Amino acid sequence: MSSLRRLSPPLHLLRAFSGVTRFGSVSRAADALHLTQSAVSKQIRELEDWVGVALFERSRKRLALTPAGERYEKAVRAVLAQLEAATLELITSNDGGGALHLSSLPTFAAKWLIPRLPQFQQQHPQITLHFVPYVHSYDFERPELDCSILFGDGHWPGAHAHYITGNEVALIAPRTLPADGAIDTPADVAHHTLMRHVTVPEAWLHWSETQGVTGLIDPLAGPQFDQFQTMIRAVMAGMGLALVPRCLVQDEIAAGLVREPLAQYPMGGGYCGDMGYWFCYPEGRTQLHALQCFRQWLLHGAAGGGDTAGTPANVTPSHA
């Protein structure tokens, strides 16, 4: 066997290896691959012979990855995912469309993006969107991910980032307040529980500075949440006050599910800095036709109806 050939194991052996590690057993992998258990076991042994390295430790009919097997499995999983994504892109792009794999923060997807997607589908019926499970860290090394909608200041290493919306902030309160809990001025906020989001923990500090009530409230006290939707629900339940992106709570305000007691007071430009929702993608995906269409629609179509109010000052179109 030539050295070059040895470095390229057959695809069916890699699929068997990936299946066993994914499902944790030969029998379950065999079911998923529509093979017999003996066939899968034979392919695993053949792969180990091919690379000359033990990938599994065998004891009492149980398989456990060796350290070398763990490293190899991560690489094989990425290669197979990239191959599947490339094949899907090839199949779906025959008609001039294509597939786009994106992730989005759950609250933003549910409350802002999804209601607008029928418009995108109508304009680009040949493009198929596939939502990849959202993870809390920016990671475009994942081969199955083309782009993502993230919340932050627009700076992620190696990424182009375009501001969408989210910097304009609304202070929301429960629909009903106790008689002694009226909120007529910023100073009245001191009598209520202030809820915070983990991504913008200093939002109340920035708000208190812009409203001239620094020292009257404790901006770092109160419960902390990891999703704006949870905060909105907490306000509806009467737990306290929250500062949330206006684009996420407009419907609740209009429906009277929450109040905006200090709407007449300017919010000082929203969150400090350039915080908001950004459309992000790596340099390597720039030329994807589906991504170009989605970016154009997202920035000039979906976000063009007033939702970009509160765009951070001095924000350039993209950051690399």
Residue 16 has pLDDT above 70, yes or no: yes
Residue 312 has pLDDT above 50, yes or no: no
Higher pLDDT, 303 or 315: 303
What is the separation of C-alpha 77 from the centre of its chain, rounded to a whole number of angstroms?
21
The whole-model pTM stands at: 0.68
Helix (H, G, I), strand (E, B) or coil at 6: helix
Residue 136 has pLDDT above 70, yes or no: no
Question: Mind listing the pLDDT tens digit for each residue in 25-65?
Answer: 899 899 988 999 999 999 999 999 999 999 998 877 677 89
Half-sphere exposure of 219 (CA within 13 A, CB side): 17
Q: Which residues contact 118 (CB under 8 A, 6 or more apart)?
A: none
Residue 84 has pLDDT above 70, yes or no: yes
Mean pLDDT of 232-254: 95
- For each of the domains in the chain, give its residue range(s) and CATH number, in order of start: 3-88 (1.10.10.10), 96-166+274-302 (3.40.190.10), 169-259 (3.40.190.10)
182 is written with which tokens? 């009226």
The answer to whether 222 and 193 are in contact (CB under 8 A) is yes
Mean pLDDT of 225-253: 94
Residue 81 has pLDDT above 50, yes or no: yes
